[in-house]
Amino acid sequence: MVNLYCLNEPVCFDSPVAWSIQARYVLAHRGEAFTAPAGTLVIHKGVDESHGAVNIYRLAASHRVGVLDGRPDERFTPVEDEQLLGMAKQVMDLPELLREKGLRAEPLSLLEPFTLIRCPMCAGTEFVTVDLASVWCAQCNTRFEMRSTAGDPGVVVHACMDHYYPWSAHYVVPRSLTATLVIKDFGYSSHPEGICGDYCTNADAQASVPSSLRRSIAPCGLEVYDWSLYGRPELGDSYRQPHSLYFRGQKIDVREQVYDLNSVRSDSLPSTSWLVDGNGDPAKQERWYLIDGLPHASTSDDGWHPVWWKVRPLVEETSYGGISLEGWDAADRSLCPRCLRPASVGDHVYCDWGKLGWKPPQELLESEGP
């Protein structure tokens, strides 16, 4: 039974006091009261016993949800048009929709992270889901999970590489690793009509946008802890084994020490601004290749300072007109493991290469001369 009404006179609705998620689709949270004019079509969704036995009303022609203490009265006229009633039957709240699938909703944050973030592996901004069961990147197939923060408003996003496509990404890493992003909401989701308040962090219009967010996002009200990479490297990835590594056209006998590490951890990823994008051609695109990790202590096998090489794919045409990946050519091995800048760029006096047990590769020293 659908209860659809037309207002005879203006009615002032209060806003919900808690989450109200309506499918086809409305996400309502605590806000200001609003007045619906006469002639508005309103769906009475019933009584919410969990929040003071208030009556829930959905405005049929907008993304507004309101509450009243009472049921429809003389200000509401029942609608009997069969076509309008048929359309109103399609409107349900998200818990009703999920119950049909044997699931329940558990909102984590007022933020909508997939409208904010870029994929850490390929910088993609198109995400896909099936029946709300999983979310993945449409470009490189990185899989995403979410959870609550430790107490602050916001959300934690995990990017899982177990089935990602390095060919479509900017980074070649063991698929057993995970990247994590933390977004704290200190005003972003509660802007009054888009106007910043004193509670907003990053309110400066010139504030730089973290690389993990879409370029169009203003970071005002957000505190972002950029993608960190961690996990235990494991063998078994066709994009890394048994493909060979080359340097200046010569095959190099280098064992990928990253697989000898107990764990890898990096608080950030190398910038893609140092890579050639190949004009959209993956066969010409440079990538960052994780080959090793330097321990923070001589007795440790935890790679807290990952070693990245800039590589280009070596491909051959196949008999059926496609291309086959034959290996990776190391174009640059000079990325500083501590600050993730090329060794030839900037001042590295505080990077303490001697303590790390790392130094710029011989080819860079040769190019600089005596």
Separation of alpha carbons 166 and 156, rounded Å: 24
pLDDT at 178: 95
Q: Give Cβ neighbours of residue 209 (< 8 Å, ≥ 6 apart).
A: 215, 217, 218, 219
pLDDT at 103: 72
Is residue 108 within 8 Å of residue 151, measured between CB atoms? no
Pairing of strands 127-129, 92-93: unpaired
Q: What is the DSSP string of 235-260?
A: S--TTTSS-EEEETTEE-----GGGG
Pairing of strands 143-147, 302-317: unpaired
How confident is residue 369, by pLDDT bands cut at 50, 70 and 90?
A: very low
What does each C-alpha distance from 202 to 122, 220, 245 come to in angstroms?
A: 26, 5, 43
Tokens (6 digits) for 185 = 């909401």
Separation of alpha carbons 240 and 234, rounded Å: 11
Over 80: is that where the pLDDT of 57 sits?
A: yes
Separation of alpha carbons 117 and 136, rounded Å: 12
Cα 277 → chain centroid: 21
pLDDT at 12: 86
Separation of alpha carbons 24 and 93, rounded Å: 8
How confident is residue 199, by pLDDT bands cut at 50, 70 and 90?
A: low
Residue corresponding to tokens 């704290």: 184
pLDDT at 190: 65
Q: Tell me: the pLDDT tens digits for 60-95?
A: 766 678 888 888 998 999 888 887 887 777 676 666
How confident is residue 24, by pLDDT bands cut at 50, 70 and 90?
A: very low
State what percent of residues in the chain have pLDDT above 70.
77
Q: Which residue has the higher pLDDT, 105 or 37?
A: 37
Q: Which residue has the higher pLDDT, 235 or 231?
A: 231
Over 90: is that where the pLDDT of 13 sits?
A: no
Tokens (6 digits) for 139 = 């470009």
pLDDT at 370: 44
Average pLDDT on 270-276 reads 91
pLDDT at 335: 93
pLDDT at 23: 42
Q: Which residue has the higher pLDDT, 229 or 46?
A: 229
How confident is residue 191, by pLDDT bands cut at 50, 70 and 90?
A: low
Helix (H, G, I), strand (E, B) or coil at 310: strand
Average pLDDT on 19-48 reads 70
pLDDT at 18: 53
Average pLDDT on 261-276 reads 88
How confident is residue 344, by pLDDT bands cut at 50, 70 and 90?
A: confident
Tokens (6 digits) for 233 = 């490297």
Over 80: is that where the pLDDT of 112 sits?
A: yes
Cis ω for the linkage preceding 242 (within 30 of 0)? yes
Q: Which of 6-15, 24-33, 87-96 has the lowest mean pLDDT?
A: 24-33
Looking at every residue in the chain, the average pLDDT score rounds to 79
What does each C-alpha distance from 353 to 223, 294, 350, 357, 359 come to in angstroms?
A: 31, 11, 9, 6, 6
SS3 content of the chain, % helix, strand, coil (to 5): 15, 35, 50
Q: Which of 102-106, 179-183, 270-274, 297-301 has the lowest mean pLDDT?
A: 297-301
In terms of Cβ atoms closer than 10 Å to its own Cβ (0-12, 13-18, 19+), residue 112 is exposed
Q: Is the dihedral of CA 162, 164, 170, 172 positive or negative?
A: positive
State what percent of residues in the chain have pLDDT above 90.
17
Top-confidence range, 86-90, 151-155, 198-202, 308-312: 308-312
What does each C-alpha distance from 301 to 89, 237, 297, 298, 338 come to in angstroms?
A: 60, 22, 8, 8, 17
In angstroms and rounded to an integer, the radius of gyration of the C-alpha atoms of the chain is 27
What does each C-alpha distance from 316 to 97, 319, 320, 324 come to in angstroms?
A: 49, 10, 12, 5
Separation of alpha carbons 291 and 136, rounded Å: 26
Phi, psi of 171 (to 5 degrees): -130, 140
Q: Give Cβ neighbours of residue 245 (< 8 Å, ≥ 6 apart).
A: 251, 252, 254, 291, 311, 327, 328, 329, 330
pLDDT at 267: 87
Average pLDDT on 233-257 reads 69
